[in-house]
Amino acid sequence: MNRYVFILLYIGILYTLAEDASIPNKTNDLAFSYAQAAAYYELAVEAMAKSGKESVKFKKARDVATYISLKLASVGRTDDMAVNISNSRIEICKKEMLKEIDSRNENFTVLINKYSDSSLALINNPPKEVLDLLKGE
């Protein structure tokens, strides 16, 4: 009897691992990169608002990065799970970025130096995988 329980558990674990393996690493990596860009642009929007300015450009970039992160996260997942994954990734990135600047907007140049170029590149020059995914809409 114990052997049958062990075999059933083993098959269940293998099934779970196989399901996760159906999501390509490149897709997960890109989804995280876009979540990171969304977090960067969200913090930029918040910093601008605190200084009494509004940036439509940063808001649009944030929205695009968030959308693409969600689309990539939806590969191999239910819509609800993709939303949870994408939102969680963005929040994790925001928390890490806030730690990097000691939660002080006057230190925002640290984030600009680290994330500006890569975030801008993702928005302005999306990888082929992203373009292919968006074409399928």
Cβ of 120: how many Cβ atoms within 10 Å?
14
Amino acid at position 68, single letter? I
What global pTM score does this model have?
Answer: 0.81
Write phi, then psi, for 51 (nearest 5 degrees).
Answer: -95, 10
Q: How do residues 32-59 score in pLDDT, each as one tens digit? A: 999 999 999 999 999 999 888 888 999 9
pLDDT-derived band of residue 136, with 50, 70 and 90 as boundaries? confident
Decide: 111 and 100 in contact? Cβ < 8 Å. yes
In total, the chain counts a number of residues equal to: 137
Helix (H, G, I), strand (E, B) or coil at 102: coil
Mean pLDDT within 123-132: 94
